[in-house]
Homo-oligomer: A and B are copies of this chain.
Amino acid sequence: MYRTHNCGELSRKDIGKKVILSGWIQKIRDLGSLFFIDIRDYFGITQLIISKKSVKKNFFLGKEFLIKVKGKVVERLSKNYNIPTGEIEILVSHIDLLNSSLSPPFTIENQTDGNEEMRMIYRYLDIRRNPIKNNLIIRHNLALETRNFLSKNGFLEIETPVLINDTPEGARSFVVPSRTHIDKFYALAQSPQLFKQLLMIGGIDKYFQIVKCFRDEDSRSDRQIEFTQIDCEMSFVEVHDVLVFFEHFIKHIFKKIKNIQLDPFPCISHSDAIKIYGTDSPDIRFGMPIIELNDLVQRKNINFLKTQELVIGIKIKKCHNLHDKMSFFFKKIENPNFFWIKYLYDQTLLSSHSNFLNDEILKIFVKFFEAIPGDLLFVSYGKERKTREELGKIRIKIADILNLKNSKKFTPLWIKDLPILEWEEKYKKYKSVHHPFTSPKEEDLHFLEKNPKNVRSKSYDLIINGIEIGSGSIRIHNKHIQNLIFKHLGFSKKEIESRFGFFMKAFEYSVPPHGGIAFGLDRLVNLLEGNQNIKDFIAFPKNNYGKDIMINAPSFLEKEKLKELHFR
């Protein structure tokens, strides 16, 4: 028997008991005739007292050695009230060495001196540290709570296949050569999209799956080539039904996992998001909306601005004490099409463009922005799209500089009505903004044939603190519309048949109206814990180049195996 108790459960009420514990040595203090040793397991830490007399000569113990001890629970003299076992210690009568350890390559403490690479190579040692262990526990709780909540609400978890065919979903697929079907390949599913739609066609009313997905991404620090999705689909629903239910879901998760009661989720259109925040994934924790200034500029006839396609600005409140920081930041902005106005506490107005901007103009802006002394105004101008995007990014950077992103605050927001198609100038063709199965909005259907880029879709993204946590849509359930979208995307009849033949065949058998959403599980758990490094929430992550540096994958294949696969 390795233990009667674990290292986290003994307390004052156990004093006098004879126990057996096993654990890794966290700390050794040599007090001459005695050792004080802290042993650690999954559950906690317990202090041992070992008399040197009871230990054989040359019996060496070091950090991370694994020992089993028998002894008696006694009251501790100097109590540690920070840990559950801090009022007791074990008077050890017998000690067994279960396994010895090399000195670990980094300290196994809450704060470690290991760099990311070392921590990934020795991931099993990193997992011994509380922060990583706790992340895995929270991830487990999140997944379990998700499953129970969705199941209680009538969703069935159904496994869809991983080994499928390549479908165009915006990213590259990994492929898997078949040994028995020569020259043929499977593709690893990028998502269960088509299969969950087939389940709806199969009459399954509500589906979900917490599922591994695979994308052959180029290296990016926040993307993993295998990642986990909470994938959901419902029949007989419209946008409203999906948003209401999944707002309920996200609120439930935050309440259960973080004990946070979220406010109702605002919902704005994609075009408004771009207009107000310069991005399709706005962080709304800190206000600072973008103000449209074109009208003002025309009305007040402000010369050097009125010929600009777009003039917009933001007001940075109570920024007076931070002017130096801001000036430093402004100097680094590459595009020169901006100016700032500082409204000092003594009511002086300073600006970056004093040659163009006289006091009268400055006052116009101050009034329009309803600025008060201490505020700072930032105005950008130029081509519409670029100016909005840039100001959106500047808004975020300002929030970083001014420390406006409260990591304890969570502000979800639905973005809906994304355009259905986007013109790719590079390839001279349309691509789907969401994916090719997204339904157009009824009121825009008349544009679909001739002017598809004006068509909005029944799509929605869930953004929390500026991060896209979920994305979904109502799907097309009409075969003519589905065919038209494929055509707009540049697929020939033959390609539609070869890629989606099975799917279009299913459209002959009464597809129900349906829609769904998918949440990024890795991102969601990371967000819940304050948006750190996503790798810290994955037990065995790949690095930014898709490599598992612990096991050294991918790796070369034996010749024999290559031959079996009919390569070379």
On A, residues with C-beta under 8 Å from B are: 1-3, 6, 22, 24, 40-43, 64-66, 98-102, 104, 122-128, 133, 136-137, 139-140, 143-144, 147-148, 151, 156-166, 172, 174-181, 183-188, 194-195, 198-199, 201-205, 212, 214, 216, 218-219, 225-226, 228, 235-238, 477-478, 501-502, 505-506, 508-513, 538-540, 542, 545-548, 550-557, 561, 564-565, 567
Contact = CB atoms under 8 A, between A and B. Distances in A.
A158 B176 CA distance: 25
Contact of A162 (B147, B212, B238): B212
B547 A181 contact: yes
A178 to B, nearest CB: 4
B551 A502 contact: yes
A554 B502 contact: no
B198 A123 contact: yes
A216 B505 CA distance: 30
23 contacts: A2-B237, A2-B513, A41-B205, A42-B203, A64-B510, A66-B512, A123-B198, A124-B198, A128-B202, A144-B147, A158-B539, A159-B212, A163-B542, A163-B553, A165-B552, A166-B561, A175-B561, A177-B177, A178-B546, A178-B554, A181-B546, A185-B554, A185-B557
User: How many copies of this kind of chain does the complex include?
Assistant: 2
Contact of A203 (B127, B172, B181, B555): B127
Contacts of A163: 174, 214, 225-226, 542, 548, 553-554
Q: Which 6 A-B pairs have the closest CB atoms?
A: A127-B202, A42-B205, A184-B554, A2-B236, A66-B510, A124-B202
A509 B203 contact: no
A21 to B, nearest CB: 10
Contact of A104 (B143, B172, B181, B509): B509
B202 A509 contact: no
